[in-house]
């Protein structure tokens, strides 16, 4: 009985976890038509773009699209990961009258979409009665009939998913030709994060040569090192910015999206001051090496302040350089906002210099690594 209850609990927890990870896929573009005002007998291309904005579609995804309730496209995917962007299209021969083109994601509700209200889009349009007079139309513009390429940005993702200021991260995406014709040249690609260019960008085409046929893609890997980028972060990807390539749609070449980026939680230790004075009587001392008379006894006091948000961790070291001789010790725990002093005594000579450094092994990731040191020279020789 106990084993059965335990098994039931495990299944219930697993199902709860699956429910909490339900996906959300939605259309991120309206229905697009080419030509936009078709005439009877023309072949019309309909397209729309959707994105998986939450979780993975672990149960698969189905799509139905058509005109006037007649399915022209039925497509399915076994699984799509979060962030996936897909453009789908179908063609239809125009007939006179009023029509509606529809795109429907997960029409039977099998994907457990958390927001099914944005899974359906449609566009209404009118096709006029055609004319068949046999007359020649002068100055007829054949440009809309030319099969053109069309570039879209797909599958944008970050690694890691949250960018940390001061650390490296990568942006991956695809540039795909989803048009009906080939491009005789490879489009230019520009990436800006808060209007700053990346450290490096690699482009890996899935095709040979400069001709980019329908379905060809360019895999892009962009590396950023966010030394000068601060939240909030906004990513912009622009394809064929100069419009050198004639496309079916020139309005979908720019993608702007926020990037989750955070400032790192950093600590900071600061050497506030360094003092040198004669030793008080009874001080336990040791011998500093010195080029001068070592009969003088001096005590070094180093004042350290914790300007971070956490107590100093155990095991942190300091070191002292006295005429090339290094002496090490442990930093006592210092609470946030607290100041403590370290005392070091020894025999030395007049003119001896002392270089002190706290966190000498760089254990802490600090907001300012330049205030960890202090220097002083002993001039009181009497």
Mean pLDDT value across the chain: 83
pLDDT digits (tens, 9 = 90+) for 24-67: 898 988 899 999 889 988 999 999 999 998 888 888 899 999 99
Q: Is 137 or 261 the better-scoring residue by pLDDT? A: 261
The residue written with tokens 């009665």 in the block is 129
For range 346-358, the mean pLDDT:
86
Indicate if the alpha-carbon torsion angle 324, 325, 326, 332 is positive or negative.
Answer: negative
pLDDT value of residue 261: 84
Is the domain covering 25-130 a CATH 2.60.40.10 domain?
yes
For range 177-189, the mean pLDDT:
91
Strand ranges in 178-295 using DSSP code E only, listed in sequence order:
189-193, 200-205, 217-225, 233-239, 254-259, 261-262, 269-278, 286-287
**Distance between CA atoms of residues 66 and 267, nearest Å:** 59
Residue 116 has pLDDT above 50, yes or no: yes
Residue 175 has pLDDT above 90, yes or no: yes
Considering the chain, tell me which residue range(s) the CATH 2.60.40.10 domain(s) occupy: 25-130, 151-262, 269-377
pLDDT value of residue 265: 66
What CATH number belongs to 151-262? 2.60.40.10
CATH superfamily of 269-377: Immunoglobulins (2.60.40.10)
pLDDT value of residue 381: 64
pLDDT digits (tens, 9 = 90+) for 94-103: 999 888 899 9
Residue 133 has pLDDT above 50, yes or no: no
**Distance between CA atoms of residues 341 and 332, nearest Å:** 9
Residue 291 has pLDDT above 80, yes or no: no
Residue 134 has pLDDT above 70, yes or no: no
Residue 380 has pLDDT above 90, yes or no: no
pLDDT digits (tens, 9 = 90+) for 189-220: 999 998 889 999 999 999 998 899 999 999 99
pTM: 0.40
pLDDT value of residue 16: 39
| pLDDT-wise least confident of 14-18, 68-72, 345-349 | 14-18
Other Cβ atoms within 10 Å of 82 Cβ, number: 17
- List the structure tokens of 61: 């995804």
The residue written with tokens 């040191």 in the block is 373
pLDDT value of residue 45: 92
């Amino acid at each position: 009985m106990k084993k059965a209850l335990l098994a039931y609990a495990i299944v219930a927890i697993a199902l709860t976890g699956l429910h909490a990870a339900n996906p959300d896929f939605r259309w991120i573009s309206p229905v697009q038509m080419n030509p936009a005002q078709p005439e009877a007998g023309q072949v019309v291309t309909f397209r729309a773009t959707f994105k998986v904005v939450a979780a993975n579609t672990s149960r698969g995804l189905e799509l139905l699209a058509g005109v006037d309730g007649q399915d022209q496209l039925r497509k399915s995917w076994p699984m799509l990961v979060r962030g996936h962007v897909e453009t789908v299209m179908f063609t239809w021969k125009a007939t006179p009258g009023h029509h509606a083109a529809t795109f429907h994601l997960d029409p039977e509700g099998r994907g457990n979409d958390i927001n099914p209200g944005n899974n359906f889009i449609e566009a209404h349009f009118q096709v006029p009665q055609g004319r068949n007079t046999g007359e020649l139309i002068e100055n007829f513009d054949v440009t809309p009939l030319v099969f053109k390429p069309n570039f879209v940005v797909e599958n944008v993702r970050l690694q890691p998913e949250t960018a940390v200021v001061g650390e490296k991260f990568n942006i991956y995406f695809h540039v795909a030709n989803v048009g009906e014709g080939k491009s005789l040249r490879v489009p230019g690609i520009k990436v800006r994060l808060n209007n700053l260019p990346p450290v490096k960008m690699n482009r890996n085409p899935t095709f040979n040569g400069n001709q980019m046929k329908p379905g060809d893609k360019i895999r892009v890997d962009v590396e950023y090192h966010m030394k000068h980028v601060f939240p909030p972060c906004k990513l912009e990807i622009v394809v064929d910015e100069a419009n050198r390539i004639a496309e079916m749609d020139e309005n979908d070449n720019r993608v702007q999206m926020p990037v989750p980026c955070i400032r790192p939680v950093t600590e900071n230790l600061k050497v506030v001051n360094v003092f040198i004075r004669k030793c008080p009587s009874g001080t336990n001392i040791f011998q500093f090496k010195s080029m001068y008379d070592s009969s003088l006894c001096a005590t070094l006091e180093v004042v350290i302040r914790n300007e971070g948000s956490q107590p100093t961790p155990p095991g942190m070291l300091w070191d002292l350089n006295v005429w090339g001789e290094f002496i090490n010790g442990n930093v006592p725990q210092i609470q946030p906002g607290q100041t403590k002093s370290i005392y070091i005594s020894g025999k030395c000579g007049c003119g001896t210099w002392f270089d002190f450094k706290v966190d000498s092994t760089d254990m802490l990731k600090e907001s300012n690594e330049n205030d960890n040191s202090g220097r002083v020279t002993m001039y009181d020789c009497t």
